Structure 1
Amino acid sequence: MGTMTKVWAAAVLVFMLAGCATMPKRPENVAQGDYGYTKEYISWLARKEMKKHDVTGLSIALVDDQRVVWAEGFGFADEAGNVSATPETVYRAGSISKLFTATAAMQLVEQGKLDIDRPLQTYLPEFSIRSRFPAAGPITPRTIMTHHSGLPSDLLKGMWTRNPEPFESEVNLITDEYAAYPPDSVFSYSNVGVTLLGHGVEKITGRDFASHMDASVLRPLGMPHSSFSAAPDRSPLAAKAYRKGEEAEETPLRGIPAGGLNSTVLDLSRFMEMVFAGGRGGERQIIKPETLAEMLRPQNARVPLDLNFRVGLGWMLSGLGNIDIKNAGPVAHHGGATLYHRSQLIVLPDHKLGVVVLANSATAGSVVNKLATEALKLALEAKTGIKQPDRKKPTESDGSFSQDALQAYEGRYATMAGVVSVSKQSDYLRAEVMNKSLRLVPRSDGLFGLQYKLLGLFPISLGELDNVGISRAMVAERDILKARADGQELLVGERIQPVPIPEKWLQRTGEYKIANAGDDAVLFETLRLRHDAGLLLVDYSMPLFFNGTMSLAIAPLSDTEAVIYGLGRGMGETIRVVAIGGEELLYYSGYFLRKNLP
């Protein structure tokens, strides 16, 4: 090849690569119903985000009423086998499963076999759980579907393991646990609750859960590649699992009703089409229109600690961050996460638009959320002409917060990111979050904005968090931190009020390891109990779900029981001291924790 030929070839290659890396130009006008730019832009965005976050494979489907207007796969379902991801690739759908379990429960309501406001024991007589709330109302199917049951979030022992026990065993495993909260007091996501509901469905129908779901929901909807199973799909269409580009083992899951759905984006499109058809799938009425409307109706408007976050029966109806679509009416959605698969499904019922994104990589959580949301924003504009408003960046305050106002925030808070310590500086607050320092800077709207400075000098964007404002409030006699973005508010933390620590708990500080892990997937790599400035803290790491180490604060109730501080998922739960064979162990969520010898 001559020199000039090589130069031209190199120039063409550079041009082609540049074209791949350049965002598609947005057309000045889009014809109604023309999804061409939506497909082009989301395809570009998918490749960009997959590379950025090391995602191996991903599939997406966009639905307009009763049509799949676009479905495509990106990357690999099986990289070693050179098998591309396609719309037919079968993924673990994770907690999208809960939409189907809720649908099956509501079918039984229509048949007069289930009353969602009666105690769960009516349908699952063997269910019982300890409680410290004598005046609390009953745990019902409704409180389970809205995640207001007060049940523990998970039973971690045996949750992900190579040979899980039947999910029906959870009703016995929960007997010696404590309820975390009274029902209908706060939104607290619970896989345990939905698994128990699935057990109730099984009891009522007299057939095993997976068979019932296939006969009552999946087959009638025309979802041939979908099934409920503890294990991932093993067919030639199945996606392998990956973490940071390396193939990984997707361990079976015990809680099938909460997260055991294997599916494709095309199959899940049939579910969205059913929603847009008023509960009808093909020639069959899966659920009645009024039942579907009840599932999509906000159920928790009278729960003060939920602020203006809303949830339906199975469906999430609010979001803070990426899932934020304006001027579209209700935005109903549910995401999912197994050990290595991530998913997001969103529908706009008023406009009969929906999208689902499934991925086979543990690093894909933010990717599936972003792609699904951006696809729906563009599709909404293409179908209706409705554009998203320009987001105005909040401005910093001119110093309107007094020193007393700043000082009122000082303290430690129990949050989903662990214990957050807030301290007053000269004209701002400093928050220590998972060993990183953030600034809480007063804004002109009376809230605090989040800032992060690399090496304390260089401002770094926090993405969607740049638009979030933080404030403090007293709600239901709880001193809380709340986050606000574009009118949506969420509870993010509760101020910790330390209690006296018995000497026996102080003697238990030290490093721990799980004594009965068995064949479980290794979730915890660090377990440490320590005393710090009047608080007992549990430090732990979960590399499969987050980087770094998180700390939880626990409040001793006696010499042998302590409760995790805070409100929401994983908090309010109990750590107990047990003696086995003369040896003292800590017990949490089915695991026995043995203190390491010095």
Structure 2
Amino acid sequence: MKDIKHGVVFFRLIFFLIILISSVSCVSSSAKKDKAQVVEQLIQSRIDKQGITGLTAAVVYGDQSIVTRGFGLRETVPEQLPVTEHTLFQIGSVTKIFTAIAIMQLEENGTIDLDADIRTYLPEFHPKSFGTVNKEITIRNLLTHHSGLPSAYFKDFTLEAPDPDAFMDTSNMLSEEYMVWDSGTVFAYNNSGFSLLGELIGRVSGSTYEEYITDHIFTPLGMHDSLVMLSSKDEPNVSGGFTRGEPEDLMWFIKDIPAGSILLSAVDMDTFLRELLNCSAGKSNRILQPETLLSMFSLQNMNTPLDGSFKIGLTFWIESQNGCDVFEHGGTIPPFYSEMEIIPEKGIGIFLASNDNAGDNDQLTSLTMDIADLLIGKKPSPSSPLINTEISQETDLSDLAGYYVNGGTGIVSIENIDGVLTGRIPEMDVKSPMKILSDNSIAFGDTGLVFKPTTDTDKAVFLCYMGNYFMGPVSAVSPEPVSSVWRQRTGRYEGAGFIDAVDLSFDEKMGVLTLLIESETDGNMRFALTELSDDLLKVQGYGRNMGNIIEYSLSESGEILKYGGCDFVKRN
């Protein structure tokens, strides 16, 4: 069976190479110079417009480097220091691509099997389950964020001092948590799942995660600037962070190193992009065999209705731009943001990183797409599907009005306010007349938020998008009877860490217990809850931030709610 699989991959590779050779021609030096100048002007104009303090960029076109440099400043006090091509930027979750490549190397040499249960290699890993939830999780599930583990997990997210081994206890930490649904059910972005993969790498390779990434990716490619993690706050040549020029505190040290701690320079970004493009074209195998990299680009979630039109390979997100397949990933570790995309059939690679909250992922994604448009040659955009605004017909109101919940928005109400269908998300300060689109999607005014109807699953009524970004399924809030036991436990519970507090309350209008998550770092969000027992509640809905099981207990400190791996103590 394995030989047949490799044979299929081989012929797919040959077909891919034929397309590639026919579509990518050598870029002349003059054309390269012209493209570089236009791209640099575009980047600089966007930096000036948004007030971004510093940005580092690597752009490859026709398999040749056309931009490898820094823009703006890496420090403003006590003196202004420019971003150079060697300045290091935190790249956040683009780190996951390096972790995934390490996993694929171990699969190539026969050390692991992507379709084996992770407990084959981490036998002490035993998450709890409620009801009939299946606890089997494959490595493939983890690579695609379909593990069924709670995605809202914040225990020890940031650390006071560097600890390269803290994540090596992830299997034990997650064994204290409940599975939220069967693996493979829905995409739910999960940092702790990648820490579990990092623990696997450290366990089976005989090296630490840091040693493995350095020895098997950085060193073979000559990525001499790169760091797997910060070892101190005095690390030389690391950019500071800002909000429109004003210095910001950094997330210096995080527990989930395999999910988001790597630092890269423009020079090393360029090296990495060119290797991915050369490998995908069958011209290099320094870190992976070409067929292995192509398998990472293959669609993994084609039979997952709750994922809607969202496409993911083995960690690479799959998009389409101007008729070309795009393989990409972004990263966020405020105030640092990054976006990476490669378009193999055009020999294009783009990697941008910002050191400023003004240059967040929305801005970098837009800039990355504009650069790709310049290099590919932009095609006309389709006309807007908008056919009505401010829907007020009684039939539409009766069909759509109600309460909904989504992992990116929390609870959403759609109401008839003075005859106008209006969407409200109080925690996000959204109150907007709805617009209906030609595909029967409903848009929240001009916010970019869109609910698209789905009939492919009984677990959701809409799929939520912010622009082109998939935010997960939208489920109708289910009113639930609440026992007197839980009514007595309502109130504010405070913690210390990434989440400041949670507020448990009963909403009479919706007829459901709700949990308000309060985070100065990440904003507030409210979720609907279902009572499972006298000690357990479950967050309603599917996707990122959904499904978490909340545990109640008593301790010497008082009444405790455990949510996202963290304990919160009741204060009123």
TM-aligned CA deviation for residue 227 of structure 1: 2.0
Alignment-derived partner of residue 561 in structure 1: 536
> Judging changes above 3 Å, is the alpha-carbon distance between structure 1 residues 373 and 580 closer, same or farther for their aligned structure 2 residues?
same
Q: Which residue of 1 aligns with 2:298?
A: 297
User: Is 1:421 matched up with 2:421?
Assistant: no
8 Å contact from structure 1 (residues 473, 480) kept in 2? yes
Mean Cα deviation higher: 118-127 or 488-497: 488-497
- Residue 9 of structure 1 aligns with which residue? none
Contact 1:399 1:427 in 2 (8 A): no
Residues 230/168 of structure 1: CA separation in 2 closer, same or farther (3 Å cut)? farther
Residues 1:400 and 1:542: Cα distance change in structure 2 (over 3 Å): closer
Aligned to 1:542: 519
* Paired residue total: 531
Alignment of 1:313-462 (within 5 A): 313-318=314-319, 325-328=321-324, 330-365=325-360, 366-381=362-377, 387-397=378-388, 403-415=394-406, 416-425=408-417, 428-433=420-425, 434-451=428-445, 461-462=446-447
**Structure 1 stretch 333-342 or stretch 113-122: which is displaced more?**
333-342
- In 2, Cα distance between equivalents of 1:152 and 1:137: 12
Q: State which drifts further: 424-433 or 177-186.
A: 424-433
User: What pairs with 1:126-525 in structure 2 (closer than 5 Å)?
Assistant: 126-132=124-130, 134=132, 136=134, 138-163=136-161, 164=163, 166-229=166-229, 231=231, 234-243=234-243, 245-278=246-279, 285-318=286-319, 325-328=321-324, 330-365=325-360, 366-381=362-377, 387-397=378-388, 403-415=394-406, 416-425=408-417, 428-433=420-425, 434-451=428-445, 461-462=446-447, 465=448, 469-483=450-464, 491-514=472-495, 517=496, 522-525=497-500
Q: 1:363 to 1:531 in 2, by over 3 A?
A: farther
Unaligned runs of 5+ in 1: 1-30, 319-323, 382-386, 452-460
SS in 1 for 2:455: strand
SS in 2 for 1:70: strand
Deviation at 1:288, TM superposition (A): 0.9
- Measured after TM superposition, the shift of residue 62 of structure 1 is 0.7
Counterpart position of 1:574? 549
Q: Distance in 2 between matches of 1:190 and 1:219?
A: 28
Change beyond 3 A, Cα 1:502–1:226: same
Deviations 1:169-207 (A, max 9, x none): 221111110112211110011111111011111111111
In 1, distance between residues paired with 2:468 and 2:176?
41
Q: Check whether the contact 1:230–1:252 (CA below 8 A) recurs between aligned residues.
A: yes
Aligned to 2:76: 79
Contact 1:231 1:260 in 2 (8 A): no
- Residue 407 of structure 1 aligns with an amino acid whose one-letter code is S
Distance of 2:58 and 2:271 partners within structure 1: 11
Residue type of the partner of 2:370?
E
Bigger helix share = 2
Q: What is the CA-CA distance between 1:483 and the residue it aligns to?
A: 4.2
1:137 shift after superposition: 6.7
Give how far 1:113 is off: 0.8
Name whichever of 388-397 and 586-595 sits farther off. 388-397
Paired residues of 1:428 and 1:442 also in contact (CA < 8 A): no
Once the two structures are TM-superposed, the CA of residue 94 in structure 1 deviates from its matched residue by 0.6
Alpha-carbon separation, structure 1, partners of 2:260 and 2:336 = 11
Shift of 1:283: 7.0
Q: Given the superposition, is the C-alpha separation of residues 484 and 554 from structure 1 closer, same or farther in structure 2, using an over 3 Å criterion?
A: closer
Could you state the TM-score of these two structures normalised by the residue count of structure 1? 0.83
- Supply the distance in 2 between the matched residues of 1:90 and 1:127 (Cα, whole angstroms): 35
**How many angstroms apart in 2 are the aligned matches of 1:239 and 1:346?**
22
Pick which of 233-242 and 139-148 moved more. 233-242
SS in 2 for 1:253: coil
- The CA distance in 2 between the partners of 1:511 and 1:194, in whole Å, is 32
Cα 1:229–1:287 change in 2 (3 A) is same
**Superposition RMSD on alpha carbons, in Å?**
2.6
Q: CA–CA distance in 2 between the matches of 1:448 and 1:283?
A: 47
The answer (yes or no) to whether the contact 1:230–1:253 under 8 Å persists in 2 is no
The CA distance in 2 between the partners of 1:352 and 1:232, in whole Å, is 37
Tell me if the contact between 1:230 and 1:254 (Cα under 8 Å) persists in the aligned partners.
Answer: no
Return the TM-score normalized by structure 2.
Answer: 0.87
Partner SS state of residue 593, structure 1: strand
CA–CA separation in structure 1 for the residues paired with 2:281 and 2:103: 16
Distance 1:487 1:207 in 2: 39
CA contact (8 A) 2:450 2:467 kept: no
Say if 1:482 and 1:204 are closer, same or farther in 2 by CA, change over 3 A: same
Alignment-mate amino acid for residue 76 of structure 2: E
- Whole-Å separation in 1 of the counterparts to 2:470 and 2:283: 39
8 Å CA contact 2:240–2:247 kept in 1: the answer is: no
* Alpha-carbon displacement from aligned partner over 1:531-557 (angstroms, at most 9, x marks no partner): 1121222223323234xx321222221
Amino acid at match of 1:341: F
State the SS of the aligned residue for 2:386.
coil
Letter in 1 for 2:344: P
**Which SS does the other structure have where 1:131 is aligned?**
coil
Runs of 4+ in structure 1 off by over 6 angstroms are 280-283, 398-401, 484-490
Question: Residue 545 of structure 1 aligns to which amino acid in structure 2?
Answer: D
Indicate conservation of the 8 Å contact 1:398/1:444, yes or no: no
Specify the alignment match of 1:18 in structure 2: none
Q: Which residue of 2 aligns with 1:59?
A: 56
C-alpha distance 345-233 of structure 1, shift in aligned 2 (>3 A): farther
Percent of aligned positions with the same letter in both sequences? 26
Task: Identify if the C-alpha distance between structure 1 residues 175 and 137 changes in structure 2 by more than 3 Å, giving closer, same or farther.
Answer: closer
For structure 2, the residue ranges without an aligned partner over 5 or more in a row are: 1-29
Residue type at the aligned position of 2:517: Y
Q: In 1, distance between residues paired with 2:432 and 2:473?
A: 15
